[in-house]
């Protein structure tokens, strides 16, 4: 169990280092982050605009099957928006009742690629879609993880392809004694979320 916690701490440390390395790129590509806005130097914006592919050739050069699948891809936006709405309402009501810290939507759904002048309008729309959809999945997963920690914090017996960031708090599969004695404690154990801020 001690090894598990040291691995988790190492992962958190590496995530912070990774974020720091990514943020160093601001200087390399001539932008600054001011609040939630990404600001490029004026010369950089002008140069990037020269690199954008015009829409007409972009569409003409796209593989036909890519063009034909566009409606299928964009149709998924409808259930995604519905899921966003319902999960947000669920969290707003239930997390207050259960005493679970709220998941901040803006920490997961980050839309900023539209600031890249080297993308044309179609590429920007595609980027916004992907940013929204993948951010939404991460947002929903975090809400699900906190819900699972409250209602059923038991690890799986079978191997998972990936685990969410609340999983390390869960009890061992088959350990009924720990489940009975520690369930109330685990339901309230969100102190690490305060440390992250």
pLDDT digits (tens, 9 = 90+) for 1-38: 567 777 877 887 887 888 777 777 766 677 777 777 77
- Phi, psi for 154 (deg, rounded to 5): -125, 130
Beta strands in the chain (DSSP E): 31-34, 37-40
Q: What is the pLDDT of residue 74?
A: 95
Q: What is the pLDDT of residue 194?
A: 76
- Bridge partner residues of 40 (DSSP): 31
Q: Is 36 exposed, middle or buried (0-12, 13-18, 19+ CB in 10 A)?
A: exposed
Q: How far apart are CA 111 and CA 26, in angstroms?
A: 17
Q: Which residues 6+ apart lie within 8 Å of 132 measured at CB? A: 80, 109, 111
Q: What is the pLDDT of residues 34-86, one digit of tens each?
A: 777 777 777 877 788 888 899 999 999 999 999 999 999 999 999 999 999 99
Between 26 and 146, the higher pLDDT residue: 146
Q: How far apart are CA 65 and CA 62, in angstroms?
A: 8
Q: What is the pLDDT of residue 26?
A: 65
Averaged pLDDT score across all residues of the chain:
89
At 181, the pLDDT band (50, 70, 90 cuts) reads very high
- Phi, psi for 111 (deg, rounded to 5): -115, 105
Average pLDDT over residues 118-124: 94
The position carrying tokens 């350990």 is: 175
Model confidence at 180: pLDDT above 80? yes
Give how far Cα 143 sits from Cα of 82, 108, 136, 139, 147, Å. 15, 11, 11, 6, 6
Q: Which residues 6+ apart lie within 8 Å of 77 measured at CB? A: 129, 133
- Phi, psi for 191 (deg, rounded to 5): -60, -30
Model confidence at 170: pLDDT above 90? yes
Cβ atoms 193, 178 nearer than 8 A:
no
């Amino acid at each position: 169990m001690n090894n598990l916690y040291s691995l988790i701490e190492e992962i958190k440390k590496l995530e912070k280092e990774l974020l720091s390395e990514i943020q160093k790129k601001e200087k390399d590509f001539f932008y600054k982050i001011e609040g939630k806005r990404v600001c490029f130097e004026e010369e950089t914006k002008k140069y990037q605009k020269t690199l954008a592919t015009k829409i007409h050739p972009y569409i003409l050069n796209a593989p036909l099957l890519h063009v034909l699948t566009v409606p299928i891809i964009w149709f998924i936006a409808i259930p995604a928006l519905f899921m966003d709405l319902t999960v947000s309402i669920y969290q707003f009501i239930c997390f207050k009742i259960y005493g679970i810290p709220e998941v901040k939507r803006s920490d997961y759904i980050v839309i900023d690629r539209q600031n890249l002048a080297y993308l044309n309008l179609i590429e920007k729309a595609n980027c916004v879609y992907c940013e929204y959809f993948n951010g939404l999945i991460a947002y929903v997963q975090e809400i699900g993880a906190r819900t699972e920690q409250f209602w059923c914090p038991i690890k799986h017996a079978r191997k998972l392809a990936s685990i969410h960031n609340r999983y390390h708090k869960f009890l061992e599969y088959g350990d009924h004694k720990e489940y009975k004695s520690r369930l109330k404690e685990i339901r309230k154990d969100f102190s690490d979320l305060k440390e992250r801020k």
